[in-house]
Chain A
Amino acid sequence: MTLTQHDIDQEIAAEHAAYEKRIADGAPVEHHPRRDYAPYRSSVLRHPKQPPVAIDVTQDPELVELSSPAFGERDITEIDNDLTRQHNGEPIGERITVSGRLLDRDGRPIRGQLIEIWQANSAGRYAHQREQHDAPLDPNFTGVGRTLTDDDGRYHFTTIQPGPYPWRNHVNAWRPAHIHFSMFGTAFTQRLVTQMYFPSDPLFPYDPIIQSVTDDAARQRLVATYDHSLSVPEFSMGYHWDIVLDGPNATWIEEGR
């Protein structure tokens, strides 16, 4: 049977209603998606059925997971955060700057840590061999960047506005434009991979990946804010996106939580 957008819309609505009921019954807010989220079909065979085993990090400050791999200046080059300068020519599309801060759950900046990004080009095509979408490749755009956060936890990328693209979750499935982000914290427990979206994208209600975050406020935290002060005159549009890493770190132990 062909899976239509209408079928997926109904599944998304049912998952949302189930979450609202859990909240009404006193369950805690869910900041992250559940791994078992059927509207995103690829999750069906890839989520554990057993609940995770909890580790209370306050019981042992020596846990390896309370520390994080280190990255430094030799792991990036000067232009790795400018995706418009990686080829001889100019990429096609609307130039954007994306900036924000990397924070922990206490609002403290995470300094000198690695942020990696990857994205489709302005036509909605990834520079990946297995990509099937027949939109044009841009010989002047790869769509990969990396940077280290500064002393305020700030990061900064210059890139091209990615395009939306079709995928095969169901008939006429389209992903809203997004940039993939990968982050390290001060502890391996804080590791995060996610996607940043752009304001007011009309595809949000139809996309089972963004809708997998069933909490409305949490979902909004994946959407960057247009920030005119980040727009560069005669050059680029600016977007602000702060990132808060979840997961305990060593300061939780110092404060006895």
Chain B
Amino acid sequence: MTKIDTSRPEAVLPTPSHTVGPFYGYALPFPGGGDIAPIRHPDTITLQGYVYDGEGNPLPDAFVELWGADPDGNVPTTDGSIRRDPATGGYLGRNGVEFTGWGRIQTDANGHWYARTLRPGARGRSAPYISVSVFARGLLVHLFTRIYLPGDEAALAADPLLTQLDEARRDTLIAKEQGDGTYRFDIRLQGEGETVFLEFR
């Protein structure tokens, strides 16, 4: 039964998740999906990494979505990530000026993904982070994790999530600085060095 009677709260139950399967590639990714930062913005950072399976092999058929605050810690409310051209029906791309805070990036044939976005500012009680969701064939429910940036040790030490974790697991959530505003963040779905994944309640 898939007509939900909203007058009966007990009938409002969640729609189950399913895998994205192998064939989302012509539907969900879009050009410039990882070019989230407005062009030549001074707070631009580059994030890159691989997504690995339980045998350490990179996934060529995964995608990540990034969602983060702007450098002042404000959550963007701007649309326009996937602008369409009404004349051709194709993609126009982002306008390069506004910051939507959201991107979707498919791993390439080597399992590699990258994004350019803005360094997030802190919000609430947390150290600055970028929220990540991971989707792939074989993943029946997508996974949530976070990318924290190294540097501000005091903020990281006070973060309510990071303080719950032992050091090895905590390190899976902190990107590695590679110089020139570039950071490496690998996602290990299973096994040694498995990334910390999150559940919101």
Residues of A within 8 A of B (CB): 31-35, 37, 40, 42-50, 52-57, 59-65, 67-80, 86, 100-101, 103, 105-108, 116-118, 120, 126-131, 142-144, 146, 180, 182, 188-189, 191-195, 209-210, 212-213, 215, 217-225, 227, 240-248
Contacts and interface: CB of A to CB of B under 8 A. Distances in A.
A224 B66 CA distance: 31
Q: Tell me if B's interface is mostly helix, strand, loop or mixed.
A: loop
Interface in B12-35: 12-28
A3 B169 CA distance: 37
B73 to A, nearest CB: 8
Interface in B124-146: 124-126, 129-131, 133, 135-144
B83 A75 contact: yes
A248 B201 CA distance: 6
B112 to A, nearest CB: 17
Contacts of A108: 6
A245 B76 CA distance: 22
Given A50-B194, A55-B199, A248-B201, A222 B18 contact: yes
A219 to B, nearest CB: 7
A105 B12 contact: yes
B107 interface: no
B67 interface: yes
A195 B2 CA distance: 13
A209 B21 CA distance: 10
Contacts of B151: none
Interface of B: 1-4, 6-7, 9, 12-28, 53-55, 57, 59, 65, 67-69, 75-86, 89, 92, 100-102, 120, 123-126, 129-131, 133, 135-144, 160-161, 164-165, 169, 189-191, 194-201
B142 A212 contact: no
A74 B85 CA distance: 8
A128 B26 contact: yes
Nearest to B128: A64
Contacts of B92: 74
Contact of B199 (A44, A53, A215): A53
Given A57-B200, A126-B26, A128-B22, 16 more contacts: A45-B57, A46-B53, A46-B190, A64-B67, A77-B85, A77-B86, A106-B9, A128-B23, A193-B17, A195-B21, A215-B16, A219-B16, A227-B3, A240-B2, A242-B4, A244-B12
Contact of B4 (A61, A103, A127, A130): A103
